[in-house]
A = this chain, B = another copy of it.
Amino acid sequence: MSTRTKKHESGCLVAHAVDLLGDRWTLLLLRDMMLYGKQTYGEFLAAGEGIATNVLAERLQHLEAAGIVTRTRDPDNRRSNLYRLTEKGLGLAPALLEIIRWSGGQRRLTAARRKLIDRIEHDRDGLLAEIRARCQSGVTGK
């Protein structure tokens, strides 16, 4: 059947993404980086959802291995690393925004959330540029 053929032609693009995104924590880490500009282990750990230290370490390692984030030494604190999205990682911003928009459609929204959804719907490019600027702040070189 053509359906069956088409499956293998396009389906594994989703499978490829699922290998990266298909766990509870990865999307939350992307959110923390894109929307809140978090860059350090301590900042990720402080997120409201209570990620365990070993899970966080494993997820960051996985994202680094996948080329989604880079890890550099924090110039202000040599015992700490900074994790920042690469171009490949920033490329996930539109997907994250669509997920947020969908989620926003399911719930009563506070004014702040409504504002975020409005920006996704009416100022998507501006919001994407803001995310890019936020994620690249402090990046020297590279």
How far is it, in angstroms, between the C-alpha of A94 and the C-alpha of B101 when the chains are bound? Answer: 10
B11-A31 in contact (CB<8A): yes
Say whether A139 faces chain B, with CB atoms less than 8 Å apart: no
Residues of chain B lying within 8 A (CB to CB) of residue A94: 98, 101-102
Q: State how many angstroms separate the Cβ of A98 from the closest Cβ of chain B.
A: 4
Cβ 8 A contact of A95, one of B23, B99, B113 = B99
Residues of chain B lying within 8 A (CB to CB) of residue A96: 14
B95-A102 in contact (CB<8A): yes
Q: State how many angstroms separate the Cβ of A27 from the closest Cβ of chain B.
A: 5
Say whether A122 faces chain B, with CB atoms less than 8 Å apart: no
Interface readout for A89-115 with B: 1 if CB under 8 Å, 0 if not? 001101111111111111100101100
Q: State how many angstroms separate the Cβ of A5 from the closest Cβ of chain B.
A: 8
Q: Which of A's residues lie within 8 Å of B, judged by CB?
A: 3, 6-19, 21-28, 31-32, 35-37, 47-49, 88, 91-92, 94-107, 110, 112-113, 116
Question: Could you list some 9 contacts between A and B, CB below 8 A?
Answer: A9-B113, A10-B100, A12-B48, A17-B27, A17-B100, A19-B24, A21-B21, A94-B101, A98-B98
